[in-house]
């Protein structure tokens, strides 16, 4: 099969991104992730298959969604809409019938060719700003065949490429993709392995080993470190981040990222429980304090995203 015809499941293509690598970029968000972070800001990316989102504030209770559903999973009762998600085949027919967007299917199949056609619309902006394409998610390497095919064709088109990864993939996959990637945006959720498992569902030994093996192979790395108030905002974690950065020969810089609670409403829309629902956005002064703290403990450039 022509690798331009390889299909993947994506949930968004975001143009004019300025925080996902250098310059102006187009970020392709892919579905599926091996982690289950308490604070996930893209909970709609966790499962690979499409999902149905419901937004009550947009619902007119018109009943347009009832008839298209052969399984009769939608119901109306005096200004209340019910949806039996557990039996849903996620065909999306109800979303097509909804006149207000109260029902939305999140996730669709797309070929490498289709994604590249969209990405290449902004080639002029990439050239002028040093930008390009970024794969994000979810975890791009949860769909390795599609990710690698998309990256290889992007490079053949002369595009600068970045991948934001949680690092939880077989190193053989990362190594195979590396020749098509200009910058790895490597997430570090937590440096302590037991706390990492508590927060994400897996320990971090393989993740950190993967980053060090990529570095040893010559890959350019940016460490991306979210601050989650009440979870990883502690000195021991940031000291270990500085130590990790000091071991990487090809690190460009460290990004310190504030947490934002946008994932809470998105989780509710797809019928999931937001497990870190009492958290608020990371205060600006907290971000600034940790950036200054790290600057005192590492020679690697540190920035706030």
Q: What pLDDT, on the 0 to 100 scale, is given for residue 297?
A: 97
Task: Give me the domains of the chain, ranges plus CATH numbers.
Answer: 3-48+107-304 (3.20.20.70), 51-106 (3.30.70.20)
Q: Is 82 helix (H, G, I), strand (E, B) or coil?
A: strand
- Between CA 55 and CA 105 the distance in angstroms is 12
Neighbouring residues of 271: CB distance < 8 A, sequence distance ≥ 6: 54, 83, 85
Angle at 213 between CA 211 and CA 214, to 5 degrees: 65
Q: CA 168 to CA 142: how far, in whole Å? A: 9
Q: What does the alpha-carbon distance between residue 281 and residue 266 come to, in Å, rounded to a whole number? A: 15
- State the Cα–Cα distance between residues 28 and 165, nearest whole angstrom: 13
Model confidence pLDDT, tens digit, residues 278-304: 778 899 999 999 999 999 999 999 999
Instruction: Convert the pLDDT of each residue in 223-248 to its tens digit.
Output: 999 999 999 999 999 999 999 999 99
CA distance 238 to 254: 11
- Residues in the chain with pLDDT < 70? 1, 277
Which pLDDT score is estimated for 1? 66
pTM of the model as a whole: 0.95
Q: What span, in angstroms and rounded, lies between the C-alpha atoms of 56 and 116?
A: 34
């Amino acid at each position: 099969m022509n690798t331009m015809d390889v299909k993947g499941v994506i949930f968004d293509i975001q143009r004019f991104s300025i925080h996902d690598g250098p310059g102006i970029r187009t970020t392709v968000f892919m579905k599926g992730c091996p982690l289950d972070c308490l604070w996930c800001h893209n909970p709609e990316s966790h499962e690979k298959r499409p999902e149905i989102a419901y937004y009550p504030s947009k619902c007119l209770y018109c009943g347009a969604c009832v008839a298209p559903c052969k399984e009769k999973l939608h119901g109306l009762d005096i200004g209340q809409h019910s949806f039996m998600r557990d039996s849903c085949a996620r065909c999306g027919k109800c979303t097509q019938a909804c006149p207000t967007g109260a029902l939305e299917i999140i996730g669709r199949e797309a070929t490498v060719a289709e994604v590249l056609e969209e990405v290449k619309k902004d080639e002029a902006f990439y050239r002028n700003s040093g930008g390009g394409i970024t794969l994000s998610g979810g975890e791009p390497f949860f769909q390795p065949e599609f990710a690698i095919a998309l990256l290889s064709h992007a490079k053949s088109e002369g595009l600068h490429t970045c991948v934001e990864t949680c690092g939880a993939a077989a190193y053989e996959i990362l190594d195979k993709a590396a020749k098509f990637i200009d910058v790895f945006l490597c997430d570090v959720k937590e440096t302590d392995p037991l706390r990492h498992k508590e927060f994400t569902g897996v320990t971090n030994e393989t993740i950190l080993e993967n980053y060090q093996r990529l570095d040893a192979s010559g890959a350019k790395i940016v460490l991306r470190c979210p601050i989650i108030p009440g979870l990883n905002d502690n000195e021991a974690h940031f000291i270990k981040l500085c130590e990790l950065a000091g071991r990487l020969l090809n690190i460009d810089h460290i990004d310190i990222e504030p947490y934002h609670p946008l994932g809470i409403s998105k989780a509710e829309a797809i019928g999931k429980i937001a497990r870190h629902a009492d958290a608020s956005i990371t205060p600006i002064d907290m971000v600034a304090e940790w950036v200054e703290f790290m600057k005192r403990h590492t020679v690697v450039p540190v920035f706030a995203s």
